[in-house]
Amino acid sequence: MYTALSERMSSALDDAGINMDIVMKRRQTFMLKEMCDEIMAKLLKQSGGQFYFGSQSEGTTTPGLQSDKDMLRYYSMCHVILDLNQWVPGKITFMMLKDPDLPPQQFILQVMKRFSPEPETRLINDMVERDSRGRILLKTERWRDIAKEFFASTFKSLHIAGPSISWSNELDFVNALGVTKLLPEVNEWICRHRPGHWPTQELLEDAKTCMCFLVPVGHPFSDTKHIEWRLSPNLIERKLMFSLNIVQIKCYVFLKMIKKSLFYNVVEDGITSFHCKTILFYTLERTHAHLWQDCNLAFLVKLCLHTLQRCLKHGVCPHYIIGGVNLFDSKLSVSQRRKMYVFVSSLLKNNLQGFTKIQVDNIGLKLSSNKTDHATLHSYDLRPSILHKCICRKLEFDNIRDLHSSVHKLFEILESSNDNFFTYFRRFQQELHYLYLNENALQQKVTEEMSKSLFSYQASFIAAMCIRKRTPLFEHVLDTFKYSIKTDVASNHLKLASILYCCGHLHSASFLLRHVERCFKEQRLRTICPCDKLRKIDSDLQSFRVAPGEEYSLNENNTVLCVHFLKQEAYCVPPILLYEMNKTGIESEINEEFAVQRDWTGIVCIDAPVLLHYMQFLTYGGLGDLPRQMSACLALEDYITQNPYDLYHVDTAINLMGHCVEISGDLNGAMFLYSISLRQKPKNNAAHWHMRRLTNISQHANILRMLNSLNPLDANEYGHSQKCRTVGPDRRF
C-alpha 622/C-alpha 509 separation (Å) is 11
* 618 vs 486, residue with greater confidence: 618
When pLDDT is averaged across residues 140-146 and rounded to a whole number, the result is 85
Task: Check if the beta carbon of residue 351 is closer than 8 Å to that of residue 2.
Answer: no
Which pLDDT tens digit goes with each residue over 596-629?
Answer: 333 345 789 999 999 999 999 999 999 999 999 9
C-alpha 280/C-alpha 273 separation (Å) is 11
- The pLDDT of residue 699: 63
Which pLDDT tens digit goes with each residue over 266-282?
Answer: 999 999 999 999 999 99
- From first CA to last CA, the distance across the chain in angstroms is 75
User: Residue 218: is its pLDDT beyond 70?
Assistant: yes
Within 10 A of 434 (CB to CB), how many other CB atoms are there?
11
151, 351, 590, 599 from 682: Cα distances, Å: 22, 60, 13, 22
3-state DSSP call for residue 720? helix
Domains in the chain, please, with CATH?
A: 1-18+244-381 (1.10.1410.40), 75-238 (no CATH), 382-562 (no CATH), 567-602+649-733 (no CATH)
C-alpha 298/C-alpha 125 separation (Å) is 57
Q: If you ran DSSP here, which 8-state letter would residue 731 be given?
A: -
Name the pairing type of β-strands 604-606 and 526-528.
Answer: unpaired
3-state DSSP call for residue 699? helix
When pLDDT is averaged across residues 482-502 and rounded to a whole number, the result is 90
Select from 521, 519, 525, 468 the least CA-distant residue to 494: 519
Which pLDDT tens digit goes with each residue over 360-401?
Answer: 999 999 998 654 454 445 534 678 989 999 999 999 999 999
User: Residue 594: is its pLDDT beyond 70?
Assistant: no
C-alpha 631/C-alpha 636 separation (Å) is 9
User: Residue 109: is its pLDDT beyond 60?
Assistant: yes
Average pLDDT over the chain, rounded to whole?
A: 88
C-alpha 132/C-alpha 124 separation (Å) is 17
C-alpha 580/C-alpha 602 separation (Å) is 7
What is the 3-state composition of the chain as percent helix, strand, coil, each rounded to the nearest 5?
60, 10, 30
User: Residue 104: is its pLDDT beyond 70?
Assistant: yes
User: Residue 590: is its pLDDT beyond 90?
Assistant: no
C-alpha 81/C-alpha 88 separation (Å) is 9
Q: Which of 23-27, 150-154, 314-318 has the lowest average pLDDT?
A: 150-154
Q: Which of 323-332, 364-373, 585-594 has the lowest average pLDDT?
A: 585-594
Which pLDDT tens digit goes with each residue over 497-535?
Answer: 999 999 999 999 999 999 999 999 988 899 999 887 788
Confidence class for position 595, pLDDT limits 50, 70, 90 = very low
Name the pairing type of β-strands 229-232 and 136-138.
Answer: unpaired
Confidence class for position 99, pLDDT limits 50, 70, 90 = very high
Select from 320, 286, 289, 321 the least CA-distant residue to 303: 286
| Burial category of 711 from C-beta neighbours within 10 Å (exposed 0-12, middle 13-18, buried 19 and up) | exposed
When pLDDT is averaged across residues 154-158 and rounded to a whole number, the result is 75
Which pLDDT tens digit goes with each residue over 416-463?
Answer: 776 688 888 889 999 999 999 887 899 999 999 999 888 889 899 999
3-state DSSP call for residue 52? strand
Which sign, positive or negative, has the C-alpha torsion 686, 493, 495, 726?
A: negative
- The pLDDT of residue 383: 87
C-alpha 378/C-alpha 114 separation (Å) is 63
- The pLDDT of residue 593: 38
Share of the chain above pLDDT 70, in %: 90
* Torsion angle in degrees (nearest 10) through CA of 509, 512, 513, 517: 170
- The pLDDT of residue 674: 94
- The pLDDT of residue 403: 92
Q: If you ran DSSP here, which 8-state letter would residue 681 be given?
A: -
- The pLDDT of residue 240: 98
- The pLDDT of residue 710: 54
When pLDDT is averaged across residues 217-227 and rounded to a whole number, the result is 91
C-alpha 90/C-alpha 113 separation (Å) is 9
Which pLDDT tens digit goes with each residue over 627-654?
Answer: 999 999 999 999 999 988 889 999 999 9
Name the pairing type of β-strands 563-565 and 212-215.
Answer: unpaired
Confidence class for position 715, pLDDT limits 50, 70, 90 = very low
pTM: 0.89
Q: If you ran DSSP here, which 8-state letter would residue 581 be given?
A: G
User: Residue 679: is its pLDDT beyond 50?
Assistant: yes
C-alpha 61/C-alpha 372 separation (Å) is 24
Phi, psi of 323 (to 5 degrees): -70, 150
When pLDDT is averaged across residues 41-50 and rounded to a whole number, the result is 89
Q: What one-letter code names the amino acid at 411?
A: F
> Helices 441-469 and 20-43: crossing angle, nearest 10°?
50
Task: Check if the beta carbon of residue 432 is closer than 8 Å to that of residue 447.
Answer: yes
Task: Check if the beta carbon of residue 410 is closer than 8 Å to that of residue 566.
Answer: no
Q: If you ran DSSP here, which 8-state letter would residue 473 be given?
A: P
Q: What one-letter code names the amino acid at 558?
A: N
Residue-wise over 481-519: b if at least 16 C-beta within 10 A, else e?
A: beebbebbbbbbbbbbbbbbbbbebbebbbebbeebbeb
| Burial category of 537 from C-beta neighbours within 10 Å (exposed 0-12, middle 13-18, buried 19 and up) | middle
309: left (phi over 0), alpha (psi -120 to 50) or beta: alpha
**Neighbouring-strand partners of residue 161:** 164
C-alpha 607/C-alpha 619 separation (Å) is 18
Establish whether the linkage from the previous residue to 199 is cis, with ω within 30° of 0.
Answer: yes
User: Residue 79: is its pLDDT beyond 90?
Assistant: yes
Q: Which of 55-59, 60-64, 429-433, 717-721 has the lowest average pLDDT?
A: 717-721
Max alpha carbon distance in the chain (Å)?
105
* Torsion angle in degrees (nearest 10) through CA of 698, 701, 703, 708: -160
Rg (CA), the chain: 31
Task: Check if the beta carbon of residue 620 is closer than 8 Å to that of residue 629.
Answer: yes
| Burial category of 381 from C-beta neighbours within 10 Å (exposed 0-12, middle 13-18, buried 19 and up) | middle
Q: If you ran DSSP here, which 8-state letter would residue 262 be given?
A: I
When pLDDT is averaged across residues 566-572 and rounded to a whole number, the result is 91
Task: Check if the beta carbon of residue 727 is closer than 8 Å to that of residue 594.
Answer: yes
